[in-house]
Amino acid sequence: MTAQGRIGIYSQGLWRLRERVAALTALTPVRRWVSPLGLKALAGWGHKPTAARARGLAQLTGLPYLAIEDGFFRSVAPGDAELSISHVCDAEGIYYDASGPSALERLTRARAADPAAAARAAAPALEAIKVRRLSKYNLFALNRSALIPLDRAQGGAVLVVDQTQGDAAVTGAGAARDSFRAMLIAATVENPDALIVLKTHPETHAGRRRGYLDAGLIADAARRNPAVDDARRAGRLITLTASVAPMDALDRVAKVYAVSSLLGLEALIAGRPVVSFGQSFYSGWGLTDDRAPATGRRTHAPLECLVAAAFADYARYFDPETGAPCGLDRAIDGLADRKARWLSWNPPF
């Protein structure tokens, strides 16, 4: 691929991935501090604060801003120890920021015009998630002991999904800490006999970032609503802090409550009803029970259309072993192989 110009990078984190940026954009990355002279475009990490300078300069100069982010299959371990096997590059917005349009919305609408073709394109990702049990992060063995309370829940179980504080996908979904409190109260009130399982984020489990569904929020919700207090006192409100694969948890619950976590999409793929408390990229398509206002830009789309748009059209892939650009199938195989090697070193218990 021959570069057709230069793209300015204003953050150190993205500069370390300049070879990926070149592959994604067909432009030559250059490190810049202020001046955008001589550039064809500017790039940054999505709509995160680190991208503010690049986005501001793009607005000032009229240059395109390309939002780059990790894709929906990332790595075995969370954090920076491994490069992501996938990225998205969006010139229209970014998938998690519902305040404006994104290329993923456009691609999903396009896929809805031919559901049969979308089903074929979505098949590798659906198989990877449902059968091979891959997720964004994959540092999971089958943790049977942690899942015992879900298996023994006499009134069934529902999953309430936490996210990390400061996550741009939360603010981009028009949500905040209050959204998580409202979600916890709704899950408890609407499922009076069920075990309410709060699922922590892998970054929270690893001790890197705090979640929203902490002890303070739970206590606040219990003060505001007696159903939460009753559930807590009866032992029907638990926090799943152990390292558990998403599909292992989804197999054991009847319903999922989420704000904008990717686990909400995985729950739809697993066939679970999803109640959405944010303007997530998978809400508004007629797939979820939406408790947040709709964006008004989305119409009905079958699940396969959203999956095909997200995994086959929107994301670009890099070989987990060589780092070279590759297709979705090769990326899935490579990620599954890396996960299998990790499991061979850390056998299930």
Determine which of 31-35, 163-167, 270-274 has the lowest per-residue pLDDT on average.
31-35
In a domain, 132, yes or no: no
Query: Quick one: pLDDT band at residue 1, thresholds 50, 70, 90?
Result: very low
pLDDT in tens, 304-324: 999 999 999 999 999 999 999
Q: What is the pLDDT of residue 206?
A: 67
In a domain, 125, yes or no: no
Q: Are residues 11 and 94 in the same domain?
A: yes
Six-digit token pair at 47?
């709509």
Runs of H (alpha helix) within the chain: 12-15, 18-25, 52-61, 103-111, 115-130, 144-152, 168-172, 177-190, 202-205, 215-224, 226-233, 246-250, 262-269, 303-307, 328-345
* Residue 348, φ and ψ in degrees, nearest 5: -60, 155
Q: Are residues 285 and 318 in the same domain?
A: no
Q: Are residues 253 and 321 in the same domain?
A: no
- Which residues, 6+ apart, have CB-to-CB distance to 109 below 8 Å? 298, 299, 301
Average pLDDT in the 328-340 region?
96
Give the sheet arrangement for strand 289-290, strand by strand.
Answer: 237-240, 195-199, 157-161, 255-258, 274-276, 289-290
Q: Are residues 152 and 179 in the same domain?
A: yes
Q: Are residues 157 and 265 in the same domain?
A: yes
Query: Quick one: pLDDT band at residue 349, thresholds 50, 70, 90?
Result: very low
Q: Are residues 156 and 245 in the same domain?
A: yes
pTM: 0.94
Q: Are residues 51 and 167 in the same domain?
A: no
Question: What is the Cα–Cα distance from 265 to 316, expressed in whole angstroms?
Answer: 19
In a domain, 122, yes or no: no
Q: Are residues 163 and 251 in the same domain?
A: yes
Q: Are residues 42 and 163 in the same domain?
A: no
- Residue 3, pLDDT > 70, answer no
Q: Are residues 318 and 295 in the same domain?
A: no
Q: Are residues 151 and 80 in the same domain?
A: no
Q: Are residues 192 and 91 in the same domain?
A: no
In a domain, 278, yes or no: yes
In a domain, 119, yes or no: no
Average pLDDT in the 146-165 region?
94
pLDDT in tens, 227-262: 999 999 999 999 998 778 899 999 999 999 999 999
Six-digit token pair at 280?
């997530």
Sign of CA dihedral 227, 233, 239, 245: negative
In a domain, 129, yes or no: no
In a domain, 14, yes or no: yes
- Residue 347, pLDDT > 80, answer no
Full residue range of the structural domain in which residue 270 is found? 144-301
Mean pLDDT estimate for the chain:
93
For residue 149, what is the domain's CATH number? 3.40.50
Question: What is the Cα–Cα distance from 292 to 289, expressed in whole angstroms?
Answer: 9
Q: Are β-strands 86-90 and 315-318 bridged in parallel, bridged antiparallel, or unpaired? A: antiparallel
To which residue do tokens 């029970």 refer? 289
Question: What is the Cα–Cα distance from 28 to 133, expressed in whole angstroms?
Answer: 37
Average pLDDT in the 8-34 region?
93
Question: What is the Cα–Cα distance from 311 to 319, expressed in whole angstroms?
Answer: 15
Residue 114's SS3 state is: coil
Eight-state DSSP code of residue 50: G
In a domain, 134, yes or no: no
Q: How much is the CA Rg of the chain, to the nearest whole Å? A: 20
Strand partners, 257: 160, 275
Count up the domains in the chain and report the number: 2
- Residue 148, pLDDT > 70, answer yes
Query: Quick one: pLDDT band at residue 155, thresholds 50, 70, 90?
Result: very high
